[in-house]
Amino acid sequence: MKSAHSLHRSIIKSLTSAKLGLALMICLGVLGSSGLTAPPAQTKPDKVTLIVKMAKGLTLAQAQAVVRGHGATLKASIPKLDLHVVEVPAQASDAITKTMKGDAQILRVESDHIRKWQGTPSDPRYPDQWALPKISWDQVYGVANPRFDTKVAILDTGVDATHPDLTSVVVPGWSVFDGSDPFTDENGHGTWVAGIVAARTDNLQGIAGVGYDHVQIMPVKVLNPTGLGQDSDIIQGVMWAADNGASVILMAFSATGFSDALQDAIDYAWVHNVVLVAAAGNEAGNTATFPAGDRGVIGVSATDQNDNIDPSSTIGASVFLAAPGVNILGTYTNGGYVAWSGTSASAAIVAGSAALMRAVDPSLSNGVIVNRIAESAAAAGTQEQTGNGRVNVARAIDDTSTNEIQPAGTAPFGNGGPFVGPYKIAATNKTMTFTMAGTGGGTVTFARIGTGDNPDTATFGCTAPGSTSFTTCGGSGTFKFKNNDTYRITATPNSGSTFEGWSAESGSLTLANCGGTTNPCPSASGSIALSADSAITATFSLPKLSFTTAVFSITAGQCSPGITVQSQTSTGGVLAVTSNLTVNLTTSSSGTFYSDNACTTSVSSTTISTGNSTSGDFYYKDGTSDGPVLTAAAVAPLI
């Protein structure tokens, strides 16, 4: 059930065996910190190991004296290779390395890298964590090198810091409630999402966390054991986390109703370079929820093993991204483990992914992280259901884009997005070769249908600005298109010209899909998938006049049979004119044209009337015995 108070943000979770909704309620709490001692934070090693290669000719004693002279402590030597393993203070390692490299007696200095077997972590419950390989976590584990401590503030019901899969990753936290310890969790929800984010990994115990190394859990208790927190509590938690070094803030709760005050706190955290992640909710509708729908927050919906939206997941403008959220295994109180479903798990997976990115490269701004996660996401569901798509942590870490975006949120500030995903494999450029033929002219438009990449790199008679989904060719030329994009091809003749048809098809264009006089091709509503370099010729022709009367012989001074002139296409087809067309008549001899069969009324022209293709009869009489040539010429273009 949901709280009746619009300012309450609720956790909704469901058991694996049956989706039993559990609304966790909270009374008004008194603001204040717990005053309890937090578990110690993880510390970085104070020593760094280096491998030093010495110049030839030095004795072992001389070589050892050289490295000691640079402030290094000798740990081991490999005389046959002139190698020496030394330790130096971590804070001074860069300076010592630099001075060593400037010493003529030292040929090379390099870090003593840790090599880790790349494979499945040793956590016994890892086979039950289907979501990790789904987001390509298995392609990151053992490959990426997270080396920098990154804090994820878990704004929730607290975290059981005694859990053996969490003990070494929990750092000092805070509670909004007097006398309440952020390192205890009477409910279990906070502990569950904490394990999803950063459970200890490859420790022969329990599960693996998304943030498998150098990702730390900062418990910020803003929900009491029954699970609802007021906006005033959540605001205090966001502010405390932002002021105390949180790199990521996870808010695995939601409710309808926008709060200006909560937005102010989120804006404050965003300005302080925090990545904010929230669950979209489990209301099975598209009503906006908050904080998922707030500006600057990655709102997360839930998907299943087949990348389908979970039926219980909230969708709509509050959703910026999706992640697995069905039967997700996490840590639980008293050293246990539990699998629940819901967008809380999905948000935890995204928060862990963002934290892992920061642990690899702490210089990344929150805007860059959000952009990389969004543009690298896998296609899943519709945009309304999953926003930019389903998170893919491997591609997000490999992404090198420096573009920055901020989630726009839903009303009153935005309408979702920005949408820069899902990720699409870079398509291969292919070439379309177009040839213009015939005596006439026109244009041919190649219009991309549906999603894809805009055509570009046009040459000669083709134009493709790259900012539109179509190319126009007014003459022979070429342009580039992406492999497997679909196109519709339309020929448009110039005034006075006729489209005679297609020819010389090759590649993906054939007689079957773009042959003869089919226009557009393949049809007015269809499209052709272009998967190979292709070519086509379009023929445009000017119309012509033709005598339809057979050749005849007459005696000098005799009136001829009736003669007619017809308007035709270049290939001899009948062509009706669109307005009255005057046709001038001339002869190579001294004869005369007449309008009557008695040859009494002379004329110098005839007319083809609007909508017709043939003139009325006219006649010819010549007093000279020879072979005259009669000519008909249109006064205006034949249209």
| Residues with catalytic roles | 156, 189, 344
Closest CA to 9 of 197, 223, 319: 223
Alpha carbons 591 and 572: distance in angstroms, whole number? 28
3-state SS, one letter per residue, for 309-348: ECCCCCCCCCCCEEEECCCEEEEEHHHEEEEEECHHHHHH
Alpha carbons 544 and 541: distance in angstroms, whole number? 9
Alpha carbons 247 and 351: distance in angstroms, whole number? 10
Beta bridge partners, 502, equal: 538
Tell me the two tokens of residue 320. Answer: 């910026």
Contacts of 493 (CB under 8 A, 6+ apart): 440, 441, 442, 499, 540
Cβ-based neighbour number of residue 425 at 10 Å:
6
Alpha carbons 366 and 369: distance in angstroms, whole number? 5
Q: What angle do CA 60, 91, 95 make, to 5 degrees?
A: 60
Tell me the two tokens of residue 266. Answer: 């989120």
Alpha-carbon dihedral sign for residues 370, 375, 378, 383: positive
For residues 371-399, one letter each, b for 16 or more C-beta atoms within 10 angstroms of the residue's C-beta and e for the rest, the string is bbbbbbbbebbeeebbbbbbbbbbbbbeb
Alpha-carbon dihedral sign for residues 350, 158, 130, 311: negative
- Contact assessment for residue 566 and residue 613, using Cβ atoms and an 8 Å cutoff: yes
Alpha carbons 190 and 343: distance in angstroms, whole number? 13
Main-chain phi, psi angles of 58, to 5 degrees: -85, 140
Residue 371: strand, helix, or coil: helix
Alpha carbons 372 and 368: distance in angstroms, whole number? 6
Contacts of 159 (CB under 8 A, 6+ apart): 166, 170, 173, 182, 183, 185, 190, 191, 194, 217, 219
Closest CA to 141 of 122, 165, 161: 122
